[in-house]
Structure 1
Amino acid sequence: MSNELSITLVKSHIGLPAKQRAVLLGMGLDKRNKTVTLQDTPEIRGMISKVSHMVKVNE
């Protein structure tokens, strides 16, 4: 398993519930098509699972 994940926001967060918006902002994804590189931890995997319909993940 890789140490880092590349996460890209592929859909806009407009109209999402506040909790899902907070998860995206917590990962640093505030604009569409923005990509962030985060450590591969269980906490980040949990955040990804909450917004899996909004993001694209590359290992």
Structure 2
Amino acid sequence: MSESTDSWSDERMQAELEAVLTDLQTLEEHLADPLTLSGAITELETTITMYEQTDMGPDDA
């Protein structure tokens, strides 16, 4: 992901920051409640799927 954030609209920047905040809050929850190996694998698979579905290529910008 080498896309520059300089060309992002205010709305996109806001959405990206909110997504990061949500991810950090989720991480904080998991740190308070450690995952099992099975839970960690499920989380990784979910995260990979989420990023694959939201991956913005050059045509999507």
Normalising by the residue count of structure 1, what TM-score does the alignment of the two structures yield? Answer: 0.29
- Identify, as 1 or 2, the structure richer in strand: 1
The structure number with the bigger radius of gyration is: 2
Normalising by the residue count of structure 2, what TM-score does the alignment of the two structures yield? Answer: 0.28
Q: Choose between structure 1 and 2 for higher RCO, CA contacts under 8 A separated by at least 6 residues.
A: 1
- Identify, as 1 or 2, the structure richer in helix: 2
